[in-house]
Amino acid sequence: MSLDFHAVLAERNLNATISVGPVETVAIMGPNGAGKSSLIQILSGLLKPDAGQATLGDRVLFRVGPASADCSSSGTTHSARTASAASSWLSPHERGIGLLAQDPLLFPHLSVAENVAFGPRSQGRGKRAAMESAQKWLGEVDAVELSVRKPAQLSGGQAQRVALARALATEPELLLLDEPMAALDVNTAPFLRSLLKRVLEHRCAIIVTHDVLDALMLADRIIIMEQGRIIEQGPTAAVLAHPRSPFAASLAGLNVLSGALEGTSVQTPDAGAVVGRLATSQGAEFLATLGSESPATSRTSELPLASADGSMAVAAFAPSAVSVFLERPQGSPRNCFAVTVTELEPHGDHIRVRAGRLSADISPAAMAELGLVPGSAVFFVVKAAEVAIYPA
């Protein structure tokens, strides 16, 4: 079943359109308040948008308001009235959409098996058939031995596995996962993650997550949301290799600066010109598949993207490629940014030096030598060869 979805909800500043293929897992990522959860709630039928429509397979989940809604609060009642003839709304129980939230929310008065059998029972199956189905799905999540327990007797990871079995037992056409691993500790999350990888393989699913590992392991495609809008999307690997938005860059662990392309440099409004090397052929091919204007003429790996001068571009580089100096260095053609240190934090074996949007990784020894504190005025230096430039 494939999903096509568009919704506008003024109250939560949401305006998003997504589609998911019949056997595809899409990861939705973004900062808090980006509208990810609102989207999930609208899809599952718990929250009503001002306008929009969604179809799952050949079924209409909802059609509300005019297709292109202007959603001023005074306009909504009016538009709802004028569109009432065509509008429709399926209740959550009619949608065939499974939901697994951060909190397992197992019904506390039912046993584990009864929890999993709840869905099949509600779909009208007999007690016996429902219990058989419950055992099958508990087996699928390696939790058969838990079936007689009450939810209060489960650990967080066990409860979430049972909740997954419960959601799958209804055989949903679309599975929604709203930060399913967020409440689990670092020891139990990996098990559920690999379990999810197995069960999501042949399904249509959307996973909201803050963990880039979830996106990498579970999702075919990634959607980045910010302030209720989709600002970036594409195959997970491609988005992480060539992030355009600051959020995607932070996921990929890269610094990104955007501006107008000029030769082999990006003219950024605040950090001046950033010199780098233009995207490789793989990048260009990838961009071509996204419908970018840049022709994928390249055969050699470092061929520039022709005729892109003046168009918007992104310069990306890893924090590990950044050197930190107290004084402006002389010599070789490098990029140099005068910045003020805002934060220092441990990052693996290194110290991550944050300066506004940019960050640099330096060794503790270098850190001691430089004597950095928040507020220090320093220069971030990065070689042109370490900067990847690609169209925005």
User: Applying CB under 8 A, which residues contact other proteins?
Assistant: 44-46, 91-93, 95-99, 101-103, 105, 107-109, 118-119, 122-123, 150, 152, 156, 166-167, 170, 182-183
What do you get for the CA distance between the two ends of the chain, in Å?
Answer: 32
Q: Which residue has tokens 């300066």?
A: 355
Strand ranges inside 269-333, DSSP E: 272-275, 277-278, 312-317, 323-325
Cβ 259 to other proteins shortest distance, Å: 37
CA separation for the pair 65, 76 (Å, rounded):
8
Bridge pairing between strands 388-391 and 277-278: parallel
Smallest distance from the beta carbon of 130 to other proteins, in angstroms? 11
Residue placing its CB nearer to other proteins in the complex, 4 or 103 = 103
Nearer to other proteins, 110 or 231 (CB): 110
Q: How near is the Cβ of 64 to other proteins at its closest, in Å?
A: 17
Nearby residues of 25 by Cβ (< 8 Å), 6 or more positions away:
200, 203, 204, 205, 206, 207, 218, 219, 220, 221
Beta strands 51-56 and 25-29, pairing class:
unpaired
Least distance to other proteins, CB of residue 270, Å? 34
Whose Cβ is closer to other proteins: residue 156's or residue 235's? Answer: 156
CA 207/CA 100 separation, integer angstroms: 9
User: One-letter amino acid identity for 209?
Assistant: T
- Least distance from C-beta 149 to other proteins, angstroms? 12
Angle at 264 between CA 260 and CA 270, to 5 degrees: 40
Q: Which amino acid is at 214?
A: D
Residue 264: exposed, middle, or buried by beta-carbon count in 10 A (0-12, 13-18, 19+)?
A: middle
Query: Of 46 and 86, which CB lies nearer to other proteins in the complex structure?
Result: 46
Nearest to 361 by CA among 272, 254, 210, 244: 254
CB of 379 to other proteins, least distance (A): 39
| Stretch (H or E) spanning 26 | strand 25-29
Minimum Å gap between C-beta 41 and other proteins is 9
Token readout for 276 is: 């780098």
How many degrees, rounded to 5, is the angle at CA 167 between CA 162 and CA 173? 155
> Which is closer to other proteins, CB of 102 or CB of 342?
102
DSSP lists the bridge partners of residue 6 as 17, 53
What is the nearest approach in angstroms of other proteins to the Cβ of residue 22?
20
Closer CB to other proteins, 98 or 246, in the complex: 98
Q: Minimum CB separation from other proteins for residue 376, in Å?
A: 32
Return the amino acid letter for 189.
Answer: A
Nearer to other proteins, 118 or 247 (CB): 118
Q: Which amino acid appears at position 257 of this protein?
A: L
Question: Closest distance between other proteins and the C-beta of residue 109, in Å?
Answer: 5
Cα angle 376, 377, 380; round to 5: 115
H helical segments located in 314-379: 364-370
Q: Which is nearer to other proteins, 210 or 354 (CB)?
A: 210
By C-beta, is 11 or 70 nearer to other proteins? 11
Looking at the Cβ atoms of 41 and 294, the one nearer to other proteins is 41
